[in-house]
Amino acid sequence: MTVSLHHELDKQTVTKAYARWAPVYDLVFGAVFERGRQAAIEAAERIGGRILEVGVGTGISLPDYSRANRICGVDISEPMLRKARERAAALGMTNVEGLWVMDAEHLAFPDESFDVVVAQYVITTVPNPEATLDEFARVLKPGGEIVLVSRVGAEAGLRRALEKWFAPAARKLGWRTEFSWRRYADWASRTSDMRLAERRAMPPFGHFALIRFAKRGKSAIDRRERPIIRTAV
């Protein structure tokens, strides 16, 4: 699929933007994205095991995972990760295996390393979303899930017009306002071992969705195939 470069982000812009956000990220976005974070964690813990959180940021989600799970976190922003490491150390989170600076499009993990890959508010901020999803699928074990909380752009109407108008300013802040559902669906349709498991609208204002993709195969955690759930939005 060809995507207009006009709507794309570059890695340097994203890195600089999140370095600026690091000191105030929890204050500005903590409460706003709380329900989405909790929904993602609940979905991840239905599988459990070894969980990779991509875009772990300041580690705001880390205390909410069960200590029975093993957590790995990566982020492109070193200033964000410093806060995450401080949080994990202060809370004595021995289940956190490590927190590393890493590019989501080039994960330095072997194939089939994780039972769950979680990415909250990440996919619409990376330069190449489809390549990033490919990496998530690569490091995911058969039977595991990719759990996203991510923007789904409006197809028409006032919100669509506002997203288009705000797009240039949003890119300078490190994210996209326009990102259609078709991009997620097209990726899943061409990725033979992945299937859509769930799509559910998330606050604020339904701009975001919980999206789960399941990797075909038997999970090492619980050997049952999970049914596909498609929730209309």
Nearest to 184 by CA among 111, 233, 225, 226: 233
- Integer Cα distance of 93 and 95 in angstroms: 5
Q: What is the CATH number of the domain that holds 18?
A: 3.40.50.150
pLDDT of residue 121: 87
pLDDT of residue 9: 56
Domain contains 222: no
Residue 154: what residue type? A
* Strand partners of residue 79: none
Domain contains 221: no
pLDDT of residue 39: 94
Domain contains 224: no
Q: What is the mean pLDDT of each run of 10 residues along the chain (233 residues)?
A: 40 56 50 80 96 94 96 93 95 97 96 97 89 97 96 58 47 57 93 95 80 86 45 42
pLDDT of residue 227: 44
Q: Which two tokens stand for residue 55?
A: 């875009």
pLDDT of residue 228: 42
Question: What phi and psi, each to the nearest 5 degrees, are found at residue 55?
Answer: 75, 40
Residue 207: what residue type? H
pLDDT of residue 203: 78
Q: In what order do the strands lie in the sheet with 96-101?
A: 96-101, 70-75, 50-54, 114-120, 140-151, 208-215, 194-202
- How far apart, in Å, are the Cα atoms of 129 and each of 79, 135, 167, 177? 23, 10, 17, 14
* Strand partners of residue 119: 54, 148
The whole-model pTM stands at 0.77
Please tell me whether residue 160 adopts helix, strand or coil conformation.
Answer: helix
- Domain count for the chain, please give it: 1
Domain contains 229: no
Please tell me whether residue 106 adopts helix, strand or coil conformation.
Answer: coil
DSSP 8-state class, residue 62: G
Domain contains 124: yes
Q: Which two tokens stand for residue 124?
A: 């619409």
- Integer Cα distance of 59 and 83 in angstroms: 7
Q: Domain containing 195: what range?
A: 5-215
pLDDT of residue 1: 30
Domain contains 227: no
Give me the half-sphere count of Cα atoms (radius 13 Å) on the Cβ side of residue 60: 25
Domain contains 202: yes
Domain contains 162: yes
CB 146 within 8 A of CB 137: yes
